[in-house]
Structure 1
């Protein structure tokens, strides 16, 4: 019960109703799952998660073309998030939703959410209606975030192009979307001009660890920079393990990321509980025999970003049925993970 989950979504009823009114019943090619704070807590208990940082996934406010409506929805979501955290301050935190791509309005709401609501950071979509994070013209928002040494959780959205038939966006396009945003943040030197912002890339950074050297050579050639300096910018992102704690992905991620920059993530409820347990078992298998590495990924690295959680009371022990259910599920999935790793 010590994990800190930095990739844990919320789908409040009011938000779901707004999506339904716009004819939206899915995100990234997946139907919107059921969600409540109570069910979040139950899943957290079974997965050994002490605290989850809540965030709204794609489409956020981007489905609203009227800027005033987007601002109103962002404020509603942030007020509701703050109330959930106030009711369970040791179990939840939240990343504030911003009305992107409106930079000025997003800067105003970021200031309100961070200063008045005490959000733990903000969530920004890799692209908001085709405008990518890191494109020119976003300095007003980055200045507000840099002044507050804010943590920015970058979550992918649907690519600004038709999906390929038979390939749901969450399966592959999301990884490219995150990679595109990371590329622009490095290429346009946002990482260097705003050094106090801590950026977390979802899903182990998409393709960033795998393609980092290729991208570094490209950027270095364009900007006449050292490829090693560009690689430093890429490896300095933070990365979560959501849907990525596998024997294939973890070694590459840990070899690439700066020490202390890998964080636990579940992606619940868009990742069903079986997937949460599967990748948690993958992390357990990979870190078996290295308790320090496990502790760093599951908790201590996150505490460096969210020190307030270090003073939280220990999470209550789950009920015996929940412990038994979780133990059986993890045992089975851990065995499957070992078999796949040995294959």
Structure 2
């Protein structure tokens, strides 16, 4: 029992009720129930020592900056309290009230400096703008200066959903892919090299279309290279399968792959299915150890050596 789970969600009951009142089903999935005891029980049953908690899509902003700031502060303080009580079992990615950039910088400073959050969670796109957009430059500059770990989680595409196909099926993967390409083409990966970006779900389609991304770089006058894609970190939540791992491991830096579960949006039975494939996949033992824990210890030094 030693895994560090960099893709585990918190769903505070008040927040869950707020989403349900709005009729929101994130990714086409009903808002799941969550509790501290339930999270610990899940982790104990899946070899997870520490879960780094993050708020999933849709975040906290529904058109009212002041309301979004209040919700971000409430959730971040709740998670910090949970982490402080159980520092060996929980970590926190602080949520921000984007697309309110000024509010996001203020909350990021509070979360990192006062609450001592382990990092920040960003949704891949906000109001149709991806993270390489100039709108977010002040925030990225701030996070670069703080050498922040930034977990990038997908959201709804800025396009109508396809009837009968939940957005978590494919749209989420495209949303992550688009924002990764946006960060590459905008030069953000070089300009804000202090940020360690973790892309959810093995980077969406990024590994599979790596050479298409290189062709696009050339078209845009950039030197095509896989090196920029190796700067990203990638979690393996709902992606640790014999179909997906070969592409990921071909593209990713071996030191930049982390374990992820996607609990509670992925129920235990789904995690069991993916873990069974992951545990049977013929990985070098040292690489498996690095994915399960070592690579995350490098990102979060406070967890190094925890039992």
Question: What is the TM-score normalised by the length of structure 2?
Answer: 0.98
Q: Which of 86, 89, 109 is the matching residue for 2:87?
A: 89
Q: How does 1:173-252 map to 2 (within 5 A)?
A: 173-222=171-220, 224-228=221-225, 231-252=226-247
Question: Computing the radius of gyration over CA atoms, which structure comes out larger, 1 or 2?
Answer: 1
Distance 2:126 2:14 in 1: 21
Q: CA deviation at 1:21?
A: 3.2
Q: Which residue of 2 aligns with 1:109?
A: 107
Whether 1:48 aligns to 2:47 is: yes
Distance 2:158 2:90 in 1: 32
Q: Which residue of 2 aligns with 1:14?
A: 14
Q: Is the Cα–Cα contact under 8 Å of residues 124 and 154 in structure 1 kept in the other structure? A: yes
Bigger helix share: 1
Distance 1:91 1:298 in 2: 15
Q: Which residue of 1 aligns with 2:256?
A: 261
Q: Which residue of 2 aligns with 1:323?
A: none
Deviation per residue, 1:146-168 (Å, 9 max, x gap): 11100000000011111101211
Q: Which residue of 1 aligns with 2:300?
A: 306
Q: Which residue of 2 aligns with 1:335?
A: none
Q: How does 1:302-341 map to 2 (within 5 A)?
A: 302-312=296-306, 314=307
Distance 2:41 2:286 in 1: 27
Deviation per residue, 1:30-53 (Å, 9 max, x gap): 011111111010010000000000
Q: CA deviation at 1:256?
A: 0.8
Q: Which residue of 2 aligns with 1:121?
A: 119
Q: CA deviation at 1:225?
A: 1.9
Structure 2 vs 1, CA of residues 197 and 14 (structure 1 numbering), >3 Å: closer, same or farther? same
Q: Is the Cα–Cα contact under 8 Å of residues 287 and 293 in structure 1 kept in the other structure? A: no
Distance 1:256 1:5 in 2: 21
Deviation per residue, 1:312-331 (Å, 9 max, x gap): 2x2xxxxxxxxxxxxxxxxx
Task: Give the secondary-structure state (helix, strand or coil) at the position aligned to 2:209.
Answer: helix
Task: Give the secondary-structure state (helix, strand or coil) at the position aligned to 1:239.
Answer: strand
Distance 1:174 1:158 in 2: 7
Q: CA deviation at 1:259?
A: 2.4
Task: Give the secondary-structure state (helix, strand or coil) at the position aligned to 1:123.
Answer: strand
Question: What is the TM-score normalised by the length of structure 1?
Answer: 0.87
Q: Which residue of 2 aligns with 1:171?
A: 169
Structure 2: gaps of 5 or more residues: none
Q: Is the Cα–Cα contact under 8 Å of residues 287 and 294 in structure 1 kept in the other structure? A: no
Q: Which residue of 2 aligns with 1:5?
A: 5
Task: Give the secondary-structure state (helix, strand or coil) at the position aligned to 2:50.
Answer: strand
Structure 1: gaps of 5 or more residues: 315-343
Segments of 4+ in structure 1 off by > 2 A? 20-24
